[in-house]
């Protein structure tokens, strides 16, 4: 069978529709949680039938994973953009933290949804292809941080003898994700006296960098100007930069 002239257009339309479905599902996931909506609702929202949805996704879980991976891809994009910030290694890791804030603003649904995915019986129900996609994007985020750390150790901003690069990366990733999740919760915000979650996330990142011995330490330098520069040069129009 010859490749029709319409094949390319069809593929484009198919991809566009998939994007539409994912976008709408992301809204649902944020506003109502995984269990708060059903495929029929979603079909109605995107103005296609349920059967059509299942041409794109193996299951509701598969769709949820696609939503997460889409968000994660943007996270990786933001990370990579941030890592190109012109400055010292500590300033660049700070830019990564800012990327996190930018990301959290655009994708507030991500952290909860991604946590859910990892639980037993959820991950299994998604297709292997989408699982692989997710791994790839997660890997991009990881590597971006890891590279800055390796560079920091090379130039002497970060101790070389206390930990391996991947240990430092793991520490930073853990504190960042943990902070986002915790800061998102109402009770926690009350107990911690948090008025702005994103400031709390950045502060925790700072503290961890200090703990790693990443120079110049946050309380020995004034990073206020760096922050303004990051916003200006990397994330113009950002709304999350407020004085602590």
Partner DNA sequence: TTGGAATTTGACCATTGGTCAAAAATGGCT
Partner DNA sequence: AGCCATTTTTGACCAATGGTCAAATTCCAA
Q: Which of residues 119-138 bind DNA (CB under 7 A)?
A: 125
Q: If we measure between CA atoms, which residue out of 141, 8, 174 comes closest to residue 68? A: 141
Smallest gap, in angstroms, from Cβ of residue 132 to a copy of itself? 11
Candidates 135, 160, 228, 232; binder of a copy of itself (CB under 8 A) is 135
6 binds a copy of itself (CB under 8 A): no
Candidates 30, 39, 199, 221; binder of DNA (CB under 7 A) is 39
CB atoms within 10 A of CB 49: 12
160 binds DNA (CB under 7 A): no
| Distance, C-alpha 55 to centroid of its chain | 27
Q: Which residue has the tokens 């299942």?
A: 54
Please report how many Cα atoms fall inside a 13 Å half-sphere around the Cα of residue 110, on the Cβ side: 22
**Which tokens in the block code for residue 238?**
């950002």
Please check whether residue 89 is in contact with residue 152, taking contact to mean a CB–CB distance below 8 angstroms. Answer: yes
Candidates 33, 52, 174, 192; binder of DNA (CB under 7 A) is 52
Binding partner of 188, given a copy of itself, DNA, none, CB within 5-8 angstroms per partner class:
a copy of itself
Region from 53-61, 75-83, 196-204, 208-216 binding DNA, contact rule CB under 7 A: 53-61
Q: Which residue has the tokens 């590279």?
A: 147
Give 162's contacts (C-beta < 8 A, 6+ positions apart).
212, 213
Candidates 86, 162, 228, 232; binder of a copy of itself (CB under 8 A) is 162
Q: Which is nearer to DNA, 59 or 218 (CB)?
A: 59
Q: Which is nearer to a copy of itself, 107 or 234 (CB)?
A: 107
Measured CA to CA, the distance from residue 26 to residue 34 in angstroms comes to: 10
Measured CA to CA, the distance from residue 114 to residue 141 in angstroms comes to: 14
Binding partner of 10, given a copy of itself, DNA, none, CB within 5-8 angstroms per partner class:
DNA
Binding partner of 24, given a copy of itself, DNA, none, CB within 5-8 angstroms per partner class:
none
Going from the C-alpha of 57 to that of each of 113, 120, 140, the distances in angstroms are 17, 19, 24
Binding partner of 209, given DNA, a copy of itself, none, CB within 5-8 angstroms per partner class:
a copy of itself
Measured CA to CA, the distance from residue 238 to residue 86 in angstroms comes to: 18
Radius of gyration over alpha carbons of the chain, in Å? Answer: 20
Candidates 23, 155, 195, 211; binder of a copy of itself (CB under 8 A) is 211
- Interface residues with DNA (CB under 7 A) are 1-2, 4-6, 9-10, 17, 37-40, 48-52, 54-55, 59-61, 125
- Interface residues with a copy of itself (CB under 8 A) are 30-36, 112-113, 115-116, 118-122, 135, 138-139, 142, 162-164, 166-167, 169-171, 173-179, 181-185, 187-188, 191-194, 200, 203-204, 206-213, 219
């Amino acid at each position: 069978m010859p490749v029709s002239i319409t094949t390319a257009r069809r593929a484009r339309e198919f991809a566009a529709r998939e994007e539409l479905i994912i976008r709408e599902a992301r809204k649902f996931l944020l506003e109502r949680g995984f269990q708060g909506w059903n495929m029929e609702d979603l079909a109605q929202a995107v103005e296609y039938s349920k059967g059509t949805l299942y041409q794109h996704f193996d299951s509701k879980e598969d769709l949820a994973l696609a939503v997460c991976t889409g968000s994660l891809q943007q996270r990786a994009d933001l990370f990579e953009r941030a890592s190109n910030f012109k400055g010292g290694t500590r300033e660049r890791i700070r830019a990564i933290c800012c990327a996190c804030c930018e990301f959290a603003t655009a994708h507030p649904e991500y952290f909860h949804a991604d946590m859910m995915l990892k639980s037993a019986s959820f991950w299994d129900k998604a297709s292997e292809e989408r699982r692989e996609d997710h791994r790839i994007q997660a890997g991009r985020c990881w590597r971006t941080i890891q590279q800055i750390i390796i560079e920091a150790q090379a130039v002497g901003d970060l101790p070389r003898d206390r930990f391996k690069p991947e240990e430092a990366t793991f520490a930073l990733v853990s504190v960042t994700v943990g902070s986002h999740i915790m800061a998102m919760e109402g009770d926690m915000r009350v107990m911690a006296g948090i008025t702005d979650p994103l400031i709390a996330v950045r502060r925790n990142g700072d503290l961890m960098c200090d703990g790693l011995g990443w120079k110049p330490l946050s309380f020995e330098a004034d990073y206020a100007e760096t922050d303004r520069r990051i916003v200006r040069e990397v994330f113009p129009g950002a709304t999350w930069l407020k004085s602590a």
